[in-house]
């Protein structure tokens, strides 16, 4: 079994954001690139242009 480790995580801290490591948080290199079990961390898909025009 293998595990994954973020290259920016050091002792539980994000070296990029200077905050506690929370994979998927805004600013994280994983934000918007992967789907997480916690829906709050998932970026909402962009609306197609046709739908965006209807909402305006």
Question: Per-domain residue ranges for the chain?
Answer: 7-43
* Separation CA 36–CA 54 (nearest Å): 30
- By three-state DSSP, how is residue 10 classified? strand
Residue ranges of the chain whose pLDDT lies below 70: 1-4, 45-56
pTM score over 0.85: no
* Separation CA 34–CA 24 (nearest Å): 8
pLDDT value of position 3: 61
How many Cβ atoms are within 10 Å of 14's Cβ, its own excluded? 19
pLDDT value of position 11: 92
End-to-end CA distance of the chain: 50
pLDDT value of position 20: 94
């Amino acid at each position: 079994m293998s595990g994954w480790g973020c290259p920016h995580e050091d002792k539980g801290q994000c070296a990029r954001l200077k905050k506690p490591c929370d994979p998927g948080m805004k600013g994280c290199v994983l934000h918007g690139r992967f789907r997480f079990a916690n829906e709050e961390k998932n970026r909402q898909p962009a609306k197609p242009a046709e739908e965006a025009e209807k909402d305006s």
